[in-house]
């Protein structure tokens, strides 16, 4: 009583929180448990009296004084409060008690009551009624996300709106009140007796994603409480799933997540329909109890629990729930090239344009669904639910997959497809520098984002799109043609057949494009003619014409002059090369570094840089003055190499890394041909010199000449055996094997059909790999990949070159001065003859002895090395070792 009196006094005096609703509802509720006829007329008359009164306080009761009015008001308020406590218990026993509409009805009645009395105005003076409002929040990135603001918590509502405590109600009344409340709670709202826990903040995204936890007002019967608590989990799951759908529908999470959210949103709509049906039973079915409600919501509760568990796992994968500081470091640098390309095109790095953390999207989402489907395969209901989600979520992914398989294009605005495209690598750039980046780096697989359904055919998916992309850029695929009769989801039984069929068709199309329309085999023959010196009559003529230019240091050679001479030779009608349709693609190029030094630098590392061979060679050079000094010794013959221009799409097969290998083999064969020419020329020069032709009376000098001729012959045989071995024993057999595989005549290869009906065992990638393997085998068997063999071979070649130069030019006068028959004063001596020098012959013998020892020693080392590597690496080297064995025998 004292507390109620205190509230009444503070109310009259203009307190901070008027009990407007309780005061206005008290007369109405008072009339229900008592005699309706006795109380209702009084209340009606009083309300009519209030409507007809003026705003003045004295016009309310004309026959009473002001003091009496004040006392009457105080007594009336006190009596109303006292009756109010009694009346709420009685009212809450009715079936409609606890409904939220009572508050709205009380406000409506109070608004319709007309002008209130003056004393009620004074009583509520200075106090504002509780007026919660809903607003529209700004648009978010998710187009279908809810824009209604979060409703105010029930804990901030005025005390006057608090319902009757449950402990003061009978068990039937409690069940009725809880039934009314729980339907609102099922939809994510607070009830009168079931409210959010104190730890839940609906304005925080993380709390929304986890879902609200509810607490029940004290006083509820334990059996009802346990039953209610078991059903409140479904309300938590529903609210969390609503927040999950709003968050995962943002653009950065990809189309697969959007499709998954759409499927979940459809299930949540069915859930709300169920709530509406339950409300209808509550109103119309008198036997509807809390137990019936629990039984009818159990299947839906299990489904929502599975959806909630799936959503929580996805959120954890996206670091939206338990994100650590270390895990939020920017570690997504996979698309640096695309970001740079976007900047080049004038794009901005907007907050949503690039992600700062790994996002579970695309194949990862499908993989998570597949994993859960395998885990819960024993539960029919859960299995059916997850199969539905997987089917719907895979639809946008299958759209991208079909576009890639059948058109060779990628429509992946969210970066979630298993194939990643580097947009910076374009065909225009490829034509300028025809490296294999277009093939190997433009399209790659996102290793950690492959769906389990595509794991076994991931390589076929990649190759099918790559093949068709090349054919499409060459005009061989109609992109505008819609793809029909293809699987739309992962559970379609035609799924794998679709991938295999598309792969077979794309492979056959590209092989047909390369072999038939672009004449790949003809290109191979052209490469063989120019780089392997197959039909080299034109090249011998070119070397004769350009010999004066090629004797210069490499840095002084005029490349334009050499190119003009090569074009002149290739266009000679009598030349075999004149009939070559691709002779215009051959270019002359001067390398900055010697062949042996280049090969040694390449061999000293793990191998040739596949990405940028020329750049790799420059990288391996030591930044000292020594290379610059050695470059002065490189003449044009040692620096000459050919280059070859290849159009797209043949540049995919004849790429820069393959042209580099052709150049290495060409320079090696050219060095052997050049050395052979030097040795032959030295013999021709000796036949022109009198000192070599004259048979001296000095037997010792004649023996020296025979030793010199024998050493020159050994060197010539050595060079010719090397040249024959490289061409006839290495290049030609491997070339024939390559042609058999290219033309499909090799054992085990099937004929390719353009319709993809037959299983294709030979693919474009295998063709490319066969080409590279052919060149690598040639390099290996030509002894260009072993550092030890390169060093020995270099010393032998240097020895032969120096000996050929020594015997060709500088020995004429030395032999004449060492021969007494040709010295000055001898009969028949030439006019410019030098005087006889007995010590000259000893010097000649000593020099020749050093050449013989050097050549023979390194030849034996070479043969031992050949025998070793023939046993460990390539048996074909035994043929060369056997051919050179006759040279190493001492006479």
Positions in the chain whose pLDDT score sits under 70: 1-128, 322-357, 424-439, 476-482, 604-633, 689-691, 693-694, 745-761, 809-810, 812-837, 888-891
Could you list the residue range(s) of the whole structural domain that residue 768 is in? 673-745+759-890
Residues 842 and 723 in one domain: yes
Are 451 and 541 members of one domain? no
Please tell me the predicted confidence (pLDDT) of residue 61: 38
Considering just the CA atoms, what is the radius of gyration of the chain in Å? Answer: 49
Is the residue at 648 inside a domain?
yes
Q: Is residue 301 part of a domain?
A: yes
Query: What are the beta bridge partners of residue 590?
Result: 640
Same domain, 856 and 774: yes
Same domain, 637 and 680: no
Whether residues 704 and 828 fall in one domain? yes
Q: Which of 517, 535, 554 is the last residue of a domain?
A: 517
Same domain, 574 and 637: yes
pLDDT at 302: 94
Predicted local confidence at residue 434, as pLDDT: 47
Phi, psi of 887 (to 5 degrees): -75, -35
Same domain, 583 and 693: no
Whole-number pLDDT of residue 30: 31
**What is the domain count for the chain?**
4
CATH of the domain at 563: 1.20.120.1900
Residue 584 lies in a domain: yes
Q: Which of 322, 347, 367 is the last residue of a domain?
A: 322
- pLDDT in the model for residue 776: 92
Residues 459, 550, single domain; the answer is: no
Predicted local distance difference test score (pLDDT) of residue 225: 93
Which of 249, 23, 257 shows the shortest CA–CA distance to 129? 23
**416 in a structural domain:** yes
172 and 241 assigned to the same domain? yes
Query: Does any domain span residue 504?
Result: yes
Q: For the chain, first and last CA: distance in Å?
A: 138
Shared domain check, 802 and 786: yes
Give yes or no for a contact between 517 and 770, defined as CB atoms under 8 angstroms apart. no
The pLDDT score that the predictor gives to residue 77 is 36
What pLDDT does 228 receive? 94
Residue 783 falls in which region: left (phi positive, over 0), alpha (psi -120 to 50) or beta: left
Residues 601, 579: one domain? yes
Nearest to 778 by CA among 743, 718, 740, 727: 727
User: Are the C-beta atoms of residues 216 and 290 closer than 8 Å to each other?
Assistant: no
DSSP-based three-state secondary structure for 73: helix
Q: What is the pLDDT of residue 477?
A: 64
**Quick one: pLDDT at residue 390?**
94
Q: Is residue 621 part of a domain?
A: no
pLDDT tens digits, residue range 697-756? 777 878 888 888 888 888 899 999 999 999 999 999 999 999 988 887 655 555 444 444
Looking at the structure, tell me whether residues 886 and 738 fall in a common domain: yes
User: CA-CA distances (angstroms) from residue 278 to 236, 242, 270, 274, 428?
Assistant: 18, 20, 12, 6, 66
Q: Which two tokens stand for residue 564?
A: 């003009």
Helix axes 222-248, 254-284, angle to 10 degrees: 150
pLDDT at 428: 57
In a domain, 627, yes or no: no
Per-residue model confidence (pLDDT) at position 478: 63
Spatial contact of 726 and 533, defined as CB atoms under 8 Å apart: no
The string of DSSP codes covering 639-681 is HEEEEE---TTHHHHS-HHHHHHHHHHHHHHHHHHHHHHHHHH
Residue 77: inside a domain, yes or no?
no
- Residue-wise pLDDT tens digits, 361-414: 888 999 999 999 999 999 999 999 999 999 999 999 999 999 888 888 888 888
Return the pLDDT at 473.
79
Domain boundary among the residues 517, 544, 577 is at: 517
Chain position carrying tokens 């190499």: 641
């Amino acid at each position: 009583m004292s507390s109620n009196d205190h509230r009444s006094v503070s109310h009259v005096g203009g307190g901070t929180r008027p009990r407007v609703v309780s005061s206005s509802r008290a007369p109405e509720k008072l009339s229900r448990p008592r005699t309706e006829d006795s109380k209702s007329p009084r209340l009606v008359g009083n309300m009519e009296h209030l409507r007809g009164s003026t705003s003045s306080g004295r016009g309310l009761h004309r026959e009473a004084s002001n003091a009496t009015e004040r006392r009457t008001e105080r007594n009336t308020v006190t009596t109303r409060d006292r009756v109010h406590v009694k009346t709420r218990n009685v009212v809450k026993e009715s079936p409609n008690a606890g409904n939220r509409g009572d508050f709205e009805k009380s406000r409506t009645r109070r608004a319709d009551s007309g002008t209130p009395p003056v004393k009620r105005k004074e009583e509520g003076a200075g106090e504002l009624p509780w007026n919660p409002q809903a607003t529209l929040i700004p648009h978010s990135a998710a187009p279908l996300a809810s824009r209604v603001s979060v409703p105010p918590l029930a804990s901030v509502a005025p005390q006057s709106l608090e319902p009757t405590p449950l402990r003061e109600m009978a068990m039937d009344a409690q069940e009725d009140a809880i039934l009314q409340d729980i339907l609102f709670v099922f939809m994510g709202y607070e009830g009168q007796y079931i409210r959010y826990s104190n730890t839940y903040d609906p304005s925080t995204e993380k709390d929304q994603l986890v879902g609200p936890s509810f607490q029940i007002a004290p006083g509820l019967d334990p059996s009802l409480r346990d039953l209610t608590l078991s059903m409140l989990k479904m309300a938590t799951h529903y609210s969390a799933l609503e927040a999950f759908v709003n968050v995962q529908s943002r653009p950065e999470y990809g189309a697969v997540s959007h499709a998954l959210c759409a499927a979940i949103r459809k299930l949540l709509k069915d859930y709300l329909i169920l709530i509406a049906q339950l409300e209808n039973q509550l109103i119309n079915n008198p036997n509807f109890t809390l137990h019936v409600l629990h039984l009818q919501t159990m299947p839906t509760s299990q489904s929502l629990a599975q959806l909630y568990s799936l959503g929580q796992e996805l959120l954890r994968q996206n670091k939206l729930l338990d994100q650590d500081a270390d895990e939020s470091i920017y570690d997504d640098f996979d698309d640096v090239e695309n970001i740079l390309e976007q900047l080049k095109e004038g794009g901005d790095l907007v907050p949503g344009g690039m992600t700062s953390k790994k996002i579970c999207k695309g194949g990862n989402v499908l993989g998570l669904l597949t994993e859960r489907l395998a885990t819960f395969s024993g539960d029919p209901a859960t299995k059916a639910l997850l199969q539905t989600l997987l089917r719907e979520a895979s639809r946008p992914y299958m759209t991208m997959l079909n576009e890639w398989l059948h058109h060779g294009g990628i429509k992946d605005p969210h970066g979630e497809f298993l194939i990643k495209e580097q947009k910076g690598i374009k065909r225009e750039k490829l034509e300028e520098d025809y490296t294999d980046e277009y093939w190997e780096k433009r399209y790659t697989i996102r290793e950690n984002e492959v769906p389990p359904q595509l794991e076994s055919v991931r390589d076929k998916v990649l190759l099918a799109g790559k093949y068709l992309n090349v054919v499409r850029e060459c005009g061989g695929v109609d992109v505008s043609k819609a793809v029909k009769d293809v699987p739309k989801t992962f559970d379609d039984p035609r799924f794998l057949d679709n991938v295999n069929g598309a792969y077979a068709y794309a492979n056959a199309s590209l092989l047909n494009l390369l072999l038939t329309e672009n004449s790949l085999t003809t290109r191979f023959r052209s490469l063989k003619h120019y780089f392997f010196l197959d039909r080299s009559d034109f090249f011998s003529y070119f070397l004769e014409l350009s010999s004066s230019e090629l004797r210069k240091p490499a840095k002084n050679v005029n490349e334009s002059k050499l190119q003009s001479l090569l074009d002149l030779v290739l266009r000679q009608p009598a030349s075999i090369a004149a009939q070559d349709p691709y002779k215009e693609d051959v270019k002359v190029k001067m390398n900055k570094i010697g062949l042996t030094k280049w090969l040694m630098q390449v061999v000293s590392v793990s191998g040739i840089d596949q990405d940028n061979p020329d750049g790799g060679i420059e990288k391996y050079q030591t930044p000292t003055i020594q290379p610059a000094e050695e470059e002065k010794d490189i003449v044009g013959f040692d620096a000459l190499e050919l280059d070859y221009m290849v159009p797209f799409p043949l540049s995919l097969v004849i790429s820069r890394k393959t042209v580099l290998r052709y150049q290495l083999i060409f320079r090696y064969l050219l060095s052997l041909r050049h050395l052979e020419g030097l040795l032959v020329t030295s013999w021709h020069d000796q036949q022109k010199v009198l000192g070599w032709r004259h048979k001296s009376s000095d037997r010792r000098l004649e023996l020296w000449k025979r030793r010199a001729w024998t050493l020159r012959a050994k060197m010539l045989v050595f060079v010719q055996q090397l040249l024959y071995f490289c061409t006839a024993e290495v290049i030609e057999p491997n070339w024939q094997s390559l042609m058999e595989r290219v033309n499909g005549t090799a054992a085990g290869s099937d004929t390719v059909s353009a319709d993809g009906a037959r299983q294709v065992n030979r693919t474009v990638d295998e063709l490319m790999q066969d080409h590279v393997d052919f060149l690598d085998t040639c390099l290996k068997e030509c002894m260009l990949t072993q550092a030890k063999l390169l060093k020995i071979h270099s010393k032998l070649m240097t020895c032969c070159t120096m000996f050929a130069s020594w015997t060709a030019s500088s020995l004429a006068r030395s032999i004449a001065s060492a021969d007494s028959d040709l010295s000055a004063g001898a009969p028949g001596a030439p006019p410019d003859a030098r005087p006889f020098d007995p010590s000259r012959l000893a010097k000649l013998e000593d020099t020749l002895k050093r050449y013989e020892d050097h050549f023979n020693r390194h030849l034996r080392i070479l043969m031992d090395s050949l025998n070793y590597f023939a046993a460990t690496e390539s048996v074909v080297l035994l043929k060369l070792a056997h051919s050179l064995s006759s040279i190493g025998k001492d006479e």
